[in-house]
Structure 1
Amino acid sequence: MKTYKQNETPEFEMIRAAAPEDEGARQYYFIEQARILWKQQFDGLVDSGEAAARYEGSLLSELQAEGKYGTFHIATFGCQMNARDSEKLCGILEQIGLKGVESENADLVLYNTCTVRDNANQKVYGRLGYLQTLKKKRPGMMISLCGCMMQEPSVIEKIQKSYSYVDLIFGTHNIFKLAELLCCRMMSENRMVVDIWKDTDKIVEELPVDRKYSFKSGVNIMFGCNNFCSYCIVPYVRGRERSRKPEDIVSEIKKLVADGVVEVMLLGQNVNSYGKNLEKPMTFAELLREINKIEGLERIRFMTSHPKDLSDDLIKAMRDCEKVCNHLHLPLQSGSSRILKLMNRHYDKEGYLALVDKLRAAIPDIALTTDIIVGFPGETEEDFEETMDVVRRVRYDSAFTFIYSKRTGTPAAAMEQVPEDVVKERFDRLLKEVQKISSEVCGRDLHTTQKVLVETLDDHKEGYVTGRLSNNTVVHFPGDESLIGKIVDVWLEESKGFYYMGKQVERQES
């Protein structure tokens, strides 16, 4: 579906015709055009006296002092890929001249949506009802939707029919076009602009990004998914796998390090299959080794790893690259080989356990986390007990446990569903077992000194900070804001099951 052009006005066509052909330069051109349009709108509000009522308290003076021309609010639903996309959207809006605010009472509200589970869709519909109330009180407010949920044709039809006050809709493949689409919408005489791409092979580099953290950052290494697990909508909404060039990834990370980043999270739906579609193929293990060479970078994380593609060479790279964190997220989904086959996961229980044995032989103290689905169609008590057996044998540091959510358009949606009460009872049993094991496993480093990356001030205890070990376990210890973003030595005094209490240790000069 692409309905963008039908909304173009002659004025916008003239602006678009003057845009550069290079996509990166083109979008910076539209950022400047959008900046002009927002400034004109803002100046009109100021001249008419309406701005004082719209921007309560000191916000108007703050905007004028910062040279900003309005406000925006981004709400992100879903995974770390969406969170990274939102940082890019935020960067574009900041460049246009808008100021990010916590409240949805803003000039532009953008929902970056997820559609992995149906309740995520319902949450967005509920929030849209609230936004309609806000928009009636705030003429000129713009509402925009993007992300995975927007890739479903039935969703677009519902929004056009029942939420006609939404101004702009775009998907996962063209988030780089936000400024261009805003220009189109602002010149389209209050018509809804919809621009959805079914798929793309395009990757646009060098666009603005506003990072949530100054000291760590997500880095997309690939987009899309080729796996088609029978329960998952992602390949239909994120498209086929496409990898970024290694030189672009390395260049981005070097710039991040120069800007103060010490830890990166390499992101992809299945990072283990990185590089297969490149002109000069490169494996993920080879990419890790290249990134490990970057001076100034301290830590490398990545997700998500599909067990079927986790090679022996990747395990060696994880072992040998000192900057790769001592943690691997390895989704299980089910411990039953029969269910795994129905899920189209391309490994069985025995293969998964053999992989865990290889990992622990190479990296004995590696922390393993996982995803598990309870109540997949056709799951019997015997199948569920197979999952419990894997949990007990692997002894995960933590597990994200989910009740199966039926997603229209996936093969699993047409299978026989497990009764809700049975699923709930199994889920509770699994959660109890996972938490019991996790509380035992996570204390392995008690009474040792470990390196901790300090991330935030402690939300619950004044005078304390919160950080993470290489294995991703959380640590709380006395400290102040000056430690945020630094890697410090911490003595782990007490294990609280899922986190440690500690104290900073001064490093000895050698």
Structure 2
Amino acid sequence: MKRNSVDIITLGCSKNLVDSEKLIKQLEANGYKVTHDSDNPQGEIAVINTCGFIGDAKEESINMILEFCQAKEEGKLKKLYVMGCLSERYLKELAVEIPQVDKFYGKFNWKELLEDLGKTYKKELAVERTITTPKHYAYLKISEGCDRKCSYCAIPIITGNHISRPMEEILDEVRELVSEGVKEFQVIAQELTYYGVDIYKNQKLPELIEKMAQIEGVEWIRLHYAYPSHFPLDLLRVMRENDNVCKYLDIALQHISDNMLTKMRRHVTKKETYELIENLRKEVPGIHIRTTLMVGHPGEGELDFEELKEFIRKVRFDRMGAFAYSEEEGTFAAKEYEDAIPHEVKQKRLDEIMDMQQTISAELSEAKVGKTFKVIIDRIEGEYYIGRTEFDSPEVDPEVLIKMNGEELNIGDFYNVEITDSEDYDLYGVIK
């Protein structure tokens, strides 16, 4: 057990990761040595940043907490703290059920952790954080919370209403990160397209991204978690006119049948969804669209599922994730609908659409063979340099594998790479 050292473990999404990075900066400024996501935690203090989004994530968070409780009981750890979404949602229950944890914090009051350690929160470091990703890219959180009330989603219950960060504060953070060597920004929020509505009274995402694109040193900007209803179409002009705004959009569509979109309370129709996709592809030639779909939501009949499959076949998403509905307490769906679709049916539907997507992904990857792309190098793995194109976000999208053949490439630098071969998801290439 190392004195004055802290292990931070982050579970869940990149939005949680940003909170952990801010905490790390504060702890380091107060004299602690901090390790993030270590395979072999050895600090005298541990902080677990939890996820509470769906059943599997909750289970992972609980298991991690119990694992560290065991370490504490064995004398390998002095203090154990828990923060994040699961803790925000079940603060009182967790404190009763797992008394070995020294204190549970919610998602937004983690600053109290510093006070409980006898330290101070340093306001002058408010926009600073210690990057835990490779130093050439970072996640940039532009807002918290969500005003959408989709039937199945617990996020508004956990995070509360949408709160945008002031634009200048975000731009200051970008400048700070650029000065530390960050070239690529994954712009994230629970719901990007709502940015600015609360503080500026209209959608300000296009303006924010345009201003970010003007900052010297910003090489790539990639957008995550847009919403299809009331999409700010001026964003497409910004994407088209600025080379450093990646032609990439992560937009969760969830379903296509009007029956399901209504039941899910998505405030968008089948016709509007198809029109939006057509618009995206017309206004930004070459755009890669990532989406997330859901199967097994209460009320999804065979006809709804057939419409969903037709949607996947027609649109041919460049990137697609999917999950089966799981009932989340407190949500509209949990209160109003019976979760009547058997687990086996949900799983069968999920497997079916993911198999469809695998075939589509393989065909789209194969179409890239022979073409040359700008690629950023993330790391070395075995005998390959591993990189990504502008159409690929870290950790969730395909990668480009470049065999090491004596030519030394720098991690975090860009290279022109000709694609020589493809698999379902990954590409192989050589430096041009």
TM normalised by structure 1 equals 0.78
CA contact 2:255–2:308 (8 Å) conserved in 1: yes
Structure 1 outlier segments of 4+, above 4 Å: 279-282, 479-482
- Residue 246 of structure 1 aligns with an amino acid whose one-letter code is M
AA of the residue aligned to 2:401: H
Q: Matches of residues 68-217 of structure 1 in structure 2 within 5 Å?
A: 69-96=3-30, 97-100=32-35, 101-138=38-75, 141-152=78-89, 155-183=90-118, 205-217=126-138
Structure 1 residue corresponding to 2:283, chosen from 353, 359, 362: 362
Residue type of the alignment partner of 1:474 = E
Is the CA contact 2:316–2:360 (under 8 Å) kept in the aligned structure 1?
A: yes
Match of 1:63 in 2: none
Query: Against the structure 1 CA distance between its residues 300 and 116, is the aligned structure 2 distance closer, same or farther, given a 3 Å change threshold?
Result: same
**Equivalent AA in structure 1 for residue 379 of structure 2:** T
1:468 corresponds to which of 379, 382, 388: 388
Q: Which of 360, 373, 376 is the aligned partner of 1:450?
A: 373
RMSD (CA atoms):
2.2
Distance 1:244 1:439 in 2: 39
Contact 1:203 / 1:244 at 8 angstroms: preserved in 2?
A: no
Counterpart residue type for residue 338 of structure 2:
E
| Residues 176, 207 of structure 1: 8 Å contact kept | no
Counterparts of 1:497 and 1:426 in 2: how far apart (Å)?
20
Give runs of aligned pairs for residues 299-448 of structure 1, distance below 5 A: 299-414=220-335, 415-417=337-339, 418-448=341-371
Are the aligned partners of 1:87 and 1:212 in contact in 2 as well (CA < 8 Å)? no
Q: How many residues align?
A: 418
2:419 is aligned with 1:489: no
Shift of 1:356: 0.5
1:478 aligns with 2:403: yes
| Between structures 1 and 2, the one with greater helix share | 1
Question: TM-score with structure 2 length normalisation?
Answer: 0.91
Q: Whose Rg is larger?
A: 1
| SS of equivalent to 1:309 | coil
Stretch deviating more after TM superposition (126-135 or 384-393):
126-135
Q: For structure 1, which runs of at least 5 residues remain unmatched after alignment? A: 1-53, 56-68, 185-201, 506-510
- CA deviations 1:178-209 (Å, max 9, x no partner) are 3123338xxxxxxxxxxxxxxxxx99933443
Report if the CA contact (8 A) 1:176-1:204 is conserved. Answer: no
Shift of 1:256: 1.3
Contact 2:95 2:103 in 1 (8 A): no
Counterpart Cα distance in 1 of 2:355 and 2:127: 46
Q: Distance in 2 between matches of 1:386 and 1:264?
A: 35
Contact 1:146 1:169 in 2 (8 A): yes
Match of 2:204 in 1: 283
3-state SS in 1 of match to 2:321: strand
Structure 2 CA distance for aligned equivalents of residues 498 and 119 of structure 1 = 25
Describe the superposition over 1:387-409 as per-residue Cα deviations: whole angstroms up to 9, x where unpaired. Answer: 11111111012211101111001
More moved, 121-130 vs 109-118: 121-130
Output one character per residue of 1:19-73: Cα deviation in whole Å (capped at 9) or x when no partner.
Answer: xxxxxxxxxxxxxxxxxxxxxxxxxxxxxxxxxxx45xxxxxxxxxxxxx43322
Query: How far apart, CA to CA, are the structure 2 residues paired with 1:83 and 1:364?
Result: 32
Distance 1:306 1:255 in 2: 29
Distance 1:203 1:120, change over 3 A: farther
CA distance in 1, matches of 2:332, 2:128: 37
> How far apart in 2 are the matches of 1:291 and 1:468?
21
The residue type paired with residue 416 of structure 1 is: E
> Alpha-carbon deviation of 1:105?
4.3
Specify whether residues 204 and 318 from structure 1 end up closer, same or farther in structure 2 by C-alpha distance, changes over 3 A only. same
Letter of the aligned partner of 1:164 in structure 2? P
2:223, 2:248 within 8 Å by CA — same for their partners in 1?
no
CA distance in 2, matches of 1:478, 1:309: 44
Distance 2:154 2:379 in 1: 34
Structure 1 residue 436: Cα displacement: 0.9
Partner of 1:240: 161
- Could you tell me how far apart the structure 1 residues matched to 2:207 and 2:354 are? 37
Contact 1:468/1:474, CA 8 A, preserved across alignment: yes
For 2:308, the aligned partner's letter is T
Alpha-carbon distance in structure 2 between the residues aligned to 1:500 and 1:208: 33
1:90 corresponds to which letter in structure 2? I
CA distance in 2, matches of 1:177, 1:290: 34
AA matched with 1:356: I
Q: Is the 8 A contact 2:7 2:47 kept in 1?
A: yes
- CA 1:203–1:350: 2 relative to 1, 3 Å: farther
Aligned to 2:177: 256
Distance verdict in 2 for CA 1:132–1:339, change over 3 Å: same
Instruction: Name the SS for the 1:157 alignment partner.
Output: helix
**8 A Cα contact 1:307 1:352, kept in partner:** yes
Q: 8 Å contact 1:457–1:481 — kept in the other structure?
A: no
Structure 1 Cα separation of the partners of residues 186 and 64 of structure 2: 30
Contact 1:89–1:178 (Cα < 8 Å) also in 2 = no
* CA contact 1:92–1:178 (8 Å) conserved in 2: no
Sequence identity percentage? 30
- Give secondary structure in 2 for the equivalent of 1:483: coil
Distance between the aligned counterparts of 1:231 and 1:280, measured in 2?
27
